[in-house]
Amino acid sequence: MYGIRLDNLVSGVNSFEALAGAKLHANRPRDRYRYVSVVLASEMLTILDAFIFPDNLDASQAASQQHGLSLVRTTEPRLGISQGTLLASLVRLSLILLAYLEPSSVKFLQACSRLRCFLHWVLEVLRESVALGGYSEAFTELTAPLDRMILAVVLQCHRALSRCSAVLAEMESSPWQKYFSDIESRQKSIR
């Protein structure tokens, strides 16, 4: 996003590749677009992982998670004014993954961790806005966009938790023969 050209260097980011992979949903355009959106959002957020979660930082410390905030707190004019800051765009992309990825997948887990980081950044920005505005009410002029983001995050988390609960109940209540015909295919799925 900051001058790094990714054409043909990182697979999965190109929209044509996503469209080519969406041929399974050719009969339903809306599903195809959703597939493309999820793939692109996942790939773009994966690129940021190297900046957000560097190896030389201790993720357990809260202060270490704030180092990447300066990268995304500005507004990118090429994405439009209504997008808000890059942080809001990242939250939206994470919500897309949270809404459509399977709850037990690795990328879902990565998306949750990333969203948690983004939420901390949002709260930090909100604290700065409250300190700047001198008020703590919700949905004020300075904090309204990010407050709406927090509300959306909570609602999406509620929905994701419901899905996780349903998946967990299904996994624990059904034998493995329901989903795999034999042990070999099950091992293959594990790999």
Q: Which stretch binds another protein (CB under 8 A): 2-10, 24-32, 50-58, 107-115?
A: 107-115
Residue corresponding to tokens 């493309």: 36
Contact status: 22 vs another protein (CB under 8 A): no
Member of 66, 67, 176, 182 binding another protein (CB under 8 A): 176
Member of 22, 42, 90, 129 binding another protein (CB under 8 A): 42
Contact status: 131 vs another protein (CB under 8 A): no
Residue corresponding to tokens 């795999």: 180
How many CB atoms within 10 Å of residue 35?
Answer: 19
Contact 91, 118 (CB under 8 A): yes
**For another protein, what does the binding mask look like between residues 57 and 76, x meaning CB under 8 A?**
--------------------
Question: Minimum distance from CB of 178 to another protein (Å)?
Answer: 9
Provide the token pair at 26. 């050719």
**For another protein, what does the binding mask look like between residues 143 and 162, x meaning CB under 8 A?**
-xx-xx-xxxxxx-xxxxxx
Q: Could you tell me if residue 134 is left (phi over 0), alpha (psi between -120 and 50 degrees) or otherwise beta?
A: left
1 vs 119: CA distance, rounded Å = 21
95 vs 152: CA distance, rounded Å = 8
Provide the token pair at 28. 């339903």
Which CB atom, from 87 or from 112, has the smaller least distance to another protein? Answer: 112
Contact status: 81 vs another protein (CB under 8 A): yes
Provide the token pair at 133. 């505005």
Nearest to 71 by CA among 88, 44, 47, 52: 52
Question: Minimum distance from CB of 70 to another protein (Å)?
Answer: 19
Q: What are the residues binding another protein (CB under 8 A)?
A: 38-39, 42, 78-83, 101-109, 112-113, 115-116, 119-120, 123, 126-127, 136-139, 144-145, 147-148, 150-155, 157-162, 164-165, 167-168, 170-171, 175-176, 179, 183, 186, 189-190
